[in-house]
Structure 1
Amino acid sequence: MKDALIIGQGIAGTLVSFELLQRNWSIDVADHIEPLTASKIASGLYNPLVLKRRRVVWKAHEMINVVEKSYRTIEKLSGENFLHTTPVWESLPDPGTENDWMSLSDNPHFEDFIGVILSPSNDAIKAHKVGEVAKSGKVDVTTMISAWSNYLYSIQSKIDVRIDPEDLVQRGNHWEYKNQLYKNVIWCNGFAEEHPHFGQLPFSPTKGEVLIVNAPTLTLDHILHGNVFIMPLGGHTYKVGATYSWKDLTPTPTLEGKETLLEGWNKLVNAECEIIVHQAGIRPNVKDRKPLIGSSHIHDGVHLFNGLGSRGILMAPWLAQNFADYLEGKAELYPEVNVNRFTA
């Protein structure tokens, strides 16, 4: 018998499996190949601020203290480098926004995260000034997921299969999948408005679109954020994102999405770009914008770690630690993310 079957290996499943392996749990991780999941096209950007609203992310101080340690350990175990701690530059297009940014540094809640204000030496950047977001950076999500998948294969803990709830058989307090018993089943597989192990779940999924572009005349070393973000990928290749749509939940890129992203690009930089790839994915957002974590009120031994939305890279390491503590009876889940706020 193994301790846990984790279903899904996006950002959520990767961090939960990592945390449980750190605690010497015996696990299997089941996932099937889908080229364009939300995790696989995620920007990988992490920062402690809601930049458009000038707010600090919920529990940002706690989360940011865990981010680098967790991802560096995954890098060491997997033998791949994917964490980049180059900070985000927030576009400050005029003196008014510069003054607003400066005023945030006087707020004790913000002071850890407000970096220096710089005058761009790069003529391609249109902003009057840029404000550095301290303790921000990016994770190459595709590389991380692939590297961790290979690590799971190497320890014989990865199963290439799609598992649906009906594929599992309850055996007393345990669960069986293809003659293997598990003490726990943990669903980390993206949004599903109804789940037989949890009932109706309050997902409010959003479609996000991104562009991968080539811009031969642009040399940018930092992530630049304004109406969109522009993220260097190496050479003169950049990722531009991301849109939000609550109406069209198909994984098909749209003309409207492309035009929105190109408009954002043109507001931030003076540089022509050629589109290489246009991608779309569905984020598992929740109606109150907090994750869904906890245990089924219907079946024993069934758990959920889901709904990370667009801040999964920031949230997942810290929440995975709390979730593992909860599974081991060492802590309660944070009520803001406990799934029983909707299902109890």
Structure 2
Amino acid sequence: MNSRKYDYILVGQGIGGTALAWHLIEAGKRVLVVNDSSRPSATSVAAGIYNPLTGRKLVKTWMADIIFPYAAHFYTQLEGTLHSRFVYPLPIYRPYRSLEERNSFLTYASESGVAEYIAKDSDSHSDIPGLRAPLGGLVVKGGGWIDLTSVVNRSRSFFIENNQYIDCDFFSIKLTINDSNVSWGEYEAGKIIFCQGVDARENTLFDWLPFNPVKGQILDVLFDKYSAEEIVNQGIFILPSPDRQTYRVGATYSWHDLDWATTDDGREYLEDRLRPLVTDQYTVLAQRAGLRPSSKDRRPFIGLHPVHPTIGIFNGLGTKGVTLAPYFANEFVQYLENDKELNSEVNIDRHFSLYYR
């Protein structure tokens, strides 16, 4: 077989491209990943937190009962394949802001369909050193974080070792689209799938999709006394590193100034919310910013181009890509290879009218 012929070319290797590559490889497909590792990536900044109950009203994450177990299986299996640790299950402690919030949360937890995610001792006071939580807090089970940087980097090493990766910018001028295949320079494939994150806004094949990027900033912090094994979440999160020496604090959400630069406003926003939560001093070691590839309806963009069936997209994973990517990578592969219908909430055919407008 010609070594430059593939079943799929994937453009981009954030968590979306990485998860899709692994699922296609598992399906026995020849895959080539084209990625410019020098470009900034949302995955490299993301904290990788997965949380079944989000927001001030403890809303269950969309499809959490299906997506979370699948993601856990995917990352755990990948740990074995790559002989690395990626998965850090942790409870999520939510300090009560007021007695009213405490009563509301406890009532909601007992009367709604989220009880399985609430620990039985949720009404107890916190014994986390350095945390200010005088009213106690709610303990959410089934959460944790994934070391996405390690997932991507270790996967990249695997792809390189198996001649499945090219590190370069993707020049669309080299792309030739045919009815049954595509060619990109000297490479040929049955299909090309774009997994470019926010860069997809500049891709003329898919710039008609309603992207709604969100800028997020986080801080790396060293505390004097604060020490927690769990994730603390009250407006912001405080995420422990594996060695419990440093912590990530985040995140901001901004729909303007969409660049990769950190800002004084971003740091001030996070520190204004951190100070009331902790009782001791801390040092900010670093600040990072990323652009999340979100969509206006908060659902992924997955599917094939309305005119070119050899061109596809896997994108729009937004703030929850850590859990959405594995599950919908599998769904996309089943759609591509076995004609399984895609979930209508993620299929880009819901936006085809924008292309023909």
Instruction: Return the TM-score normalized by structure 1.
Output: 0.95
Question: CA contact under 8 A between 1:223 and 1:229: conserved in structure 2?
Answer: yes
- Map of 1:64 onto structure 2: 68
Out of 210, 217, 230, the position equivalent to 1:209 is 217
Any idea what the Cα deviations from partners look like across 1:277-316, whole Å, max 9, x if unmatched?
Answer: 1111111111111111111012121111101111000211
* Letter of the 2:350 counterpart: R
Displacement of 1:253 in angstroms is: 0.6
Q: List aligned pairs for 1:111-260, cutoff 5 A.
A: 111-116=115-120, 117=122, 118-127=124-133, 128-191=135-198, 192-193=200-201, 195-233=203-241, 234-260=243-269
- Map of 1:274 onto structure 2: 283
Displacement of 1:35 in angstroms is: 6.0
The yes-or-no answer on 1:76 pairing with 2:80 is yes
SS in 1 for 2:340: coil
Displacement of 1:108 in angstroms is: 4.5
Displacement of 1:178 in angstroms is: 2.7
- Map of 1:95 onto structure 2: 99
Question: CA contact under 8 A between 1:218 and 1:236: conserved in structure 2?
Answer: no
The yes-or-no answer on 1:51 pairing with 2:60 is no
Unaligned runs of 5+ in 1: none
**Distance across 2 between alignment mates of 1:167 and 1:132:** 53
Any idea what the Cα deviations from partners look like across 1:196-215, whole Å, max 9, x if unmatched?
Answer: 22351101111111111111
Displacement of 1:326 in angstroms is: 0.6
Displacement of 1:145 in angstroms is: 0.8
Instruction: Return the TM-score normalized by structure 2.
Output: 0.92
The worse-fitting range, judged by mean Cα deviation, of 53-62 and 257-266 is: 53-62
Percent of residue pairs bearing the same amino acid type: 28
**Distance across 2 between alignment mates of 1:195 and 1:65:** 33
* Letter of the 2:279 counterpart: N
The yes-or-no answer on 1:288 pairing with 2:297 is yes
- Map of 1:324 onto structure 2: 333
The yes-or-no answer on 1:261 pairing with 2:270 is yes
More helix by share: 2
Displacement of 1:246 in angstroms is: 0.8
The worse-fitting range, judged by mean Cα deviation, of 4-13 and 268-277 is: 268-277
Any idea what the Cα deviations from partners look like across 1:8-56, whole Å, max 9, x if unmatched?
Answer: 1101011111111111111011111136411100010011222334211
Displacement of 1:319 in angstroms is: 1.1
Question: CA contact under 8 A between 1:194 and 1:201: conserved in structure 2?
Answer: no
The worse-fitting range, judged by mean Cα deviation, of 237-246 and 320-329 is: 320-329
**Distance across 1 between alignment mates of 2:337 and 2:324:** 20
Out of 305, 308, 311, the position equivalent to 1:299 is 308
Unaligned runs of 5+ in 2: none
**Distance across 1 between alignment mates of 2:287 and 2:211:** 25
The worse-fitting range, judged by mean Cα deviation, of 170-179 and 275-284 is: 170-179
Displacement of 1:151 in angstroms is: 1.2
